[in-house]
Amino acid sequence: MQNSEAMALSAALLAVAGGLTQRINEGVVARGFEGLRPAHGFAFARLAPDGATVTDLAAHLGVTKQAASQLVDEIVRKGYAERRVHPLDARARLIVLTERGWACTRAAEEAAAEVVRGWSDVLGEGEVQALREQLGRIAPYGPIRPAW
CA 78 to chain centre: 18
User: Which residues, numbered 52-111, are part of the site for a second copy (CB under 8 A)?
Assistant: 106, 108-110
Instruction: Find the shortest distance in angstroms from Cβ 42 to DNA.
Output: 9
Of 101, 73, 96, residue with least CA distance to 85: 96
By CB under 8 A, tell whether 126 contacts a second copy.
no
Nearer to DNA, 22 or 129 (CB): 22
x-marked contacts with a second copy along 11-30 as a string, rule CB under 8 A: xxxxxxxxxxxx-xx-----
How many other CB atoms are found less than 10 A from the CB of residue 27? 19
139 touches 59 (CB < 8 A): no
| Gap between the Cα atoms of 105 and 107, Å rounded | 5
Nearer to DNA, 10 or 64 (CB): 64
79 DSSP 8-state letter: T
Instruction: Find the shortest distance in angstroms from Cβ 77 to a second copy.
Output: 21
Instruction: Find the shortest distance in angstroms from Cβ 93 to a second copy.
Output: 25
